[in-house]
Chains A and B, each alone.
Chain A
Amino acid sequence: MSETVTLKIDGREVTVPKGTTILDAAAQIGIEIPVICYHPHLTANGLCRICSVDAGFRTQLAACVTACADGMDIQTRSEDVVRGRRTILEMLNSTITLDEAPEILELVEEYDADTGRFAEGKRRESPVYDDNPFYIRDYNQCINCWRCVQVCADDAQFTYALSFDGRGFETRIGTFQGYGMTDTTCVFCGQCVGACPTGALKPKRQALLEQGIDPDEIFYQTRRGRKKRSEEAGG
């Protein structure tokens, strides 16, 4: 039998195999800890910190990347935990557009985040990149969860088309020299679009549908785009 650890989460005792994260242990006993950047099939990096919980340590612990230890006594919704989550949500909301991130908007509601609190704060703005026939990149909606970069690299596709521009608050998803996607190593596998938790990456056909464009017209437009490219390549 593998080694186990026993701990308390919100007062309830739970025994789990050694190495289990606090997030998974809590889920086992029906306690849901909120997550934003975390995706069960991708490497967890502990970025958003919305899953932070209180174990009475020097700082809170990110539940998605912290392994349970014997004797831990964890509060997943203490006053301090809620204060941190609310502030992170307020800051996030003031930085980018969350209109197409319903799960995050639910958290904003649930934690009573004041959406006007940082109204004078700088927003992380970006042009909308419509540079290929498959998907549109609108980084005004990007929360920097890294999922697209990860699936493009070692977590799935090993294509390495994406990295970052800038650093700190100014960090944005970027390509080599700012190239459009057709000039990168992108193979248009679509995994990044599938992994994006907001509207930052969107299939082009979906974007056009949302603009109210007739499906036949969309089919014509996107097909024509492809045909035109092959004509150019041939000519």
Chain B
Amino acid sequence: MIDTTASIDLSQLEPVLTKYNGRRREALLPLLHEAQAIYGWLPGAVQEAIGKTLRVPLADIHGVVEFYSMFYSEPTARRVIRVCEDPACSLANAQGVMAAIEAKLGIHHGETSADGLVTLEHVPCLGMCELAPVALDGERPFGHLTPNTIDDFLNGTHPEAAAQPYGEPMWTLARVGKVDPGSLDDYQTHGGYQALAKAVAMGPDALIELADKSGILGRGGAMFPLGRKWFFTRGAAGKPSQKHIVVNADESEPGTFKDRCLLEEDPFAVVEATTVAALAVGAENGWIFVRGEYPRAVSRLREAVRQARDAGYLGRNILGQEGFNFDIEVRVGAGAYICGEETALFEAIEGKRGFPRIKPPFPTTHGLFGQPTSINNVETLVAVLSVLTQGLEAWQAIGTAKSPGSKLFCLSGHVAKPGVYEIPFGKTIRELIEMAGGVPGGKAIQAVLMGGAAGAFVKPDELDMPLTYEDARSRNIPLGSGVVMVFDETADLRQTLYELSRFFAHESCGKCFPCQLGSQRQMEIWDRIAHNGGAKATDKQVLLDVGFTMTETSLCGLGQTAASAVLTALQRWPELAE
């Protein structure tokens, strides 16, 4: 056991506090991360010292530490093993892997080993579904685990997981797996920073027009037109020093791993694309907010920002353009899906609990620090590089009239070749699954989860839907963050619905009543149906009422979609709750 009564040596914290001296609350999450890297957890005395340095009330620090699941106010080992048990990993025997690790270490979820050296947790989706089942050992990601490979995993000799890009055309994924993610030179050799040069030559107005004509809609799932978002932010009152580009790299939607693929394998593209956005909007402040469960992406991105700054791609008068000033700070989340909601993400950067704000006002006028902000998903911005590189004509020549160009999809579950697929809009779900080698073992498809945990289930007879925005809208089947998770005939959908419900219950922020209470009740009912006595006659109506209430009355997009998978499943297979 870790000795909780041992006095905490604050002298180790001093250099960090000195570095942050003069900073305010916005520095709270970075400072908590640095303090936790020293102590493994956040003892009260450490939190007090941080509060004094940043002048944040202690109660507020407590609230923040309590909110984020990767901050620990109880003694925790420096080495935390996090095992994913969400749907894609669950289909690949994550429970067996977890049980083998528990047996080997002699500890269970939430416990720390007797020698104080390792803490074990099962955690929500780690965003590596193509490599299922997966786990993080400290900062190292591992995939394709089996109960038999646990020894290799625990002693670090299991091969580290890497992204799997597939598809045609390879535009947005052009460099993934081909470029050295740690080298600006190599990035430039592979065409890097040519798009920014083109963008500078075009100027902001033409750039926004290009974004409009490209038809790119927000690819985090909300599908807001990119060009309009840039236009509104550019037009909002405020100087460039008071405007922000925020890159939403808090990719946490179960089944989604496309942004991780870009962040890890082509980090310079994310930096370049963010700079293009800054030019379009006229913003001097850039932020890339990466989920805490993507440590490899964070370190590669930070290195890319450093090299880009050294080379003059960030800083003052970029590419020799007088007045083109822009820099980027990489921020790291701490275990909260809700921070993928744009306003909750702002709150996290501002050093608060990740509670979503009431909208309106919208971020384009009142975003980060209450200032005009364009917040964009990683893939959305990198797709702009594809348009700039390929040219608008080539971009519009593929896809459909209303959904031009290409899009990334995340194939996982029961497919032969799971991974990130780039395809032109318009291919059908079935064609995409066939590209991924179909279902292994010749089994039949039972269901496909489209769009993510907040998405919709479809049946085998719905797979001829073309993957376009217009078809998604007319059939009420969201493309969301591009999730296509396949369940074969052997899958237990009740178990999957329990896991999805458990995810939302764990990730509800607790702000509004319908989601805070409804996500819990929804999970409890599926827990009983899947594991503990089966369905009761009243369950279906209760699930419909809870789902309706969350969907209709929740404050933010999380609660409004927390019942989406359940409701679409009940439409198609009412017998699941009977």
Q: Which residues of A pack against B, CB within 8 Å?
A: 36-37, 45-50, 52, 59-60, 62, 65, 80, 83-84, 86-88, 91-92, 94-95, 117-118, 120-122, 143-144, 153, 160-171, 174-177, 184-185
Contact = CB atoms under 8 A, between A and B. Distances in A.
A153 B62 CA distance: 15
A169 B554 contact: no
Given A121-B524, A174-B63, A46 B57 contact: no
Contacts of B518: 87, 91
Given A59-B551, A143-B513, A166-B510, 5 more contacts: A52-B552, A59-B554, A84-B552, A169-B508, A174-B63
B416 interface: no
A164 B63 contact: yes
B358 interface: yes
Contact of A168 (B44, B59, B519): B519
A83 B549 contact: yes
B60 A163 contact: yes
A83 B521 contact: no
Given A91-B546, A163-B63, A174-B66, A144 B516 contact: yes
B553 to A, nearest CB: 4
Chain B at the A interface: SS class: helix
A185 B59 contact: yes
Contacts of B512: 46-49
B511 interface: yes
Could you say which of B47, B67, B548, B560 has the most chain A C-beta atoms within 10 Å of its C-beta?
B67
A184 to B, nearest CB: 7
A177 B62 contact: yes
Interface residues of B, number: 44
Contacts of A88: 513-514, 517, 549, 553
Contacts of B336: 167
A117 to B, nearest CB: 7
Contacts of B61: 176
B552 A176 contact: no
A166 B552 contact: no
Chain A at the B interface: SS class: loop
28 contacts: A46-B512, A46-B555, A48-B513, A59-B554, A59-B560, A65-B358, A83-B545, A83-B549, A84-B514, A87-B545, A91-B518, A92-B513, A94-B521, A95-B517, A121-B521, A122-B520, A122-B524, A164-B510, A169-B517, A169-B519, A174-B59, A175-B62, A176-B47, A176-B62, A177-B44, A177-B58, A177-B73, A185-B57
Given A165-B66, A168-B520, A87 B548 contact: yes
Interface in B516-560: 516-521, 524, 528, 542, 545-546, 548-549, 551-555, 560
B522 to A, nearest CB: 10
Contacts of B546: 87, 91
Contacts of B545: 83, 86-87
B427 interface: no
Contacts of B259: none
A96 to B, nearest CB: 10
Given A91-B513, A164-B67, A121 B520 contact: yes
Could you say which of A62, A80, A176 has the most chain B C-beta atoms within 10 Å of its C-beta?
A176
Given A47-B512, A88-B517, A117 B59 contact: no
Contacts of A167: 66-67, 336, 353, 508-510
B59 A62 contact: no
A174 B62 contact: yes
B58 to A, nearest CB: 4
